[in-house]
Structure formats: C-alpha cells, structure tokens
Amino acid sequence: MPQNITRVVVTGAAGFIGSNIVRGLNARGIEQIIAVDDMTQGDKFRNLVDLKIADYMDRDEFYARFADGDFGKVEAVFHEGACSDTMEQDGRYMMANNYTLSNQLFNACQQRGTRLLYASSAATYGGSATFREEPPFERPLNVYGYSKLLFDQRIRLECGLDFKRAKRQVVGFRYFNVYGPHEQHKDRMASVAFHQFHQFRNEGRVKLFGDYGGYAGGAQSRDFVFVDDVVAVNLWFFDHPEQSGIFNLGTGRAQPFNDVALSVVNALRARDAESALTLQQAVSLGLIEYIPFPDALRGKYQSYTQADLSSLRATGCEHEFADVQSGVTQYVNWLAAQD
C-alpha cells in the first residue's frame, strides 16, 4: 500500500456511531478502513452496505491480530465497539467488553504507534449535578457507566492527567445522548427521537415519562447531540493529533424531553402540510401523553445532563452543535425517507 494512503480501524463499525464515522471518513476519500464488529445481529450489515471499506474483521479475531501487527501500519483506531445497553445487569459481560478489551487495544496502540480515539460516556457522571471531566463529579449509577469510567481511569493512570506520557494521541469522548441515522438495530437502547417517531406513526401520539426527580412530566432534561456533530468532533481530533485527553461530547445545552417530542410531532406534521403546534396544544390534542415513571428506572436515571464544554473548547475545537429542533427535524425527515 502506498505510504500516503491512510489506514484506519473502526471498531463497532456496523453500529450506530461507528458506521457514521466510517461514512465521515469516506466523505474525505478515506477507504482503507478495517471495519471490526460482532455481526451476530445480522441485520447490522445494513449500516455498512453503502460504505467503502478495505476489510471486515470479526471482533473475536481482531484484537489479538492487531496486537501482533497483522494489519501493518495503522494510523488510528476509532474505538466505538462496546456493550452500550445501560440496563444490562451482567457485570462480567459488561467489564469484559468495555474494560478488558479496551485495555488490550490501548496497550497495542501504544506499542504499535497507533492513535486511539475511543468512546467513553456521560454515564460516567451518573448522579452528579456537574458534568466536568474531573473525578469528584464521576458517580456512575450502573455497571455500564462504571465500565466506561474504569477505562477512563486506566487511561489517566497510564498517560498522566496531562496525557504527556502517551506515546501517541489518546482521546476519550464522553458522549451524551446521541441520536440520528443508523441506530435502528439498537432496539430499546435507540434514542428517544427514534422511538417517538415510530410511536407517532403507529399510535398518533408520543409518550413521555411523567413527573420524577422534582421535574414535571417531560421536563427532565438531557444534552441531546446529533450524530453528525459527534462525527465532526471525532474527525476534528483526527486532524489534530497533538491533542489528547478526555472530553465531553455534547452540545452544552440541556433540553427537556418535551422539546424532542414536540420536534418529532411538528416535523411529521410539516410533512403532511399541517401547521406547527405549541407544547400546550400538542398535549391538549392528545399528541403528547405522559405516563407513570417506571419503577425499574428509579434511582438509576439521569434526570438532567448538560455537557461542560470548557475542556473541549480549550483545545481550539469550535464546532457548532445542532439544537434539538434542527437536529431532530433532520433525523425525522431521514427516517420518513427510509419508510
């Protein structure tokens, strides 16, 4: 392979964020991509079918072969592969997937001179009211959040808090609530926008949790980030190999679930040439409905998240993020086009 051709690896490449990163790399003309995934859920192939990759590798084969140098010079690994089911209770399975394999990959990247850009999660903050990349605010509420935090802690230990001990670039992205195209395989873990689109199509209404945690129905707020913005920030760091660290990747804006629901309703109404509604109007017409908060989520639910972008902005990354109204509208139109 010519020396000027960039070869990269994307783990979780058939998944939601992974496939969008492959798409972003393709848009730059990068096609020497080794796509790594577990295709047990066979319909995930749909996320790769229109993409250009050099090779596909099963997850169970990849990590050992990469450590052995079987793929030659690899510039960077975008590590998106993980168990992302926040309701998964099998701690051994979670730790094996999200911590042990990530450790192996980090060690191999450092040994082979490969840059590592990996998916962490805002679930590391859990019950915290402050979302800044510092240990005092890291309080995961489930084993998923802990598995992500433990790997972040390992990276800090190996690279130093200033990351100056890293031999090559290492970047962890604490994703907040990501939504957008190509998440259909995630089932219950797909975004609220995805589920609300199908609820409205099938039932003519959107259901939201009622009052919980001191918040009125639908007023619980999250930092919802469009997947195109996630890809853009990943690629910004790919362009800036001198930047390492652990960074929040959200919009820096907390918006209520009501905003997502209303955006879904109004985007679908616009497709039928119907006028936009206010929240009060949508509720009074029965288009948005509040249901009791489920007992299974009590004590395990983040009612409020908002990324502190101070560290991200300090790197010079000035990417402008879509708000819920514009991002969800784009997404709803994409979903409708697929139907």
Question: Burial level of 228, CB count in 10 A (0-12/13-18/19+)?
Answer: middle
For 176, residues 6+ apart whose C-beta sits below 8 A from its C-beta are 122, 222, 223, 224, 225, 248, 249, 250, 251, 305, 307
Q: Tell me the pairing of strands 221-222 and 115-121.
A: unpaired
For 87, residues 6+ apart whose C-beta sits below 8 A from its C-beta are 142, 188, 189, 296
100 closest CA partner among 150, 158, 145, 160 = 150
**63, 99, 144, 301: the active-site residue:** 144
Q: Which amino acid is at 176?
A: F
186 is catalytic: yes
**56, 186, 215, 304: the active-site residue:** 186
300 is catalytic: no
DSSP-assigned states of every residue in 113-166: T-EEEEEEEGGGTBT-S--SSSGGG-B-SSHHHHHHHHHHHHHHHHH-TT-TT-
Q: Which residues of 148-163 are buried (b: 16+ CB within 10 A; e: fewer)?
A: bbbbbeebbebbeeeb
Catalytic residues: 144, 186
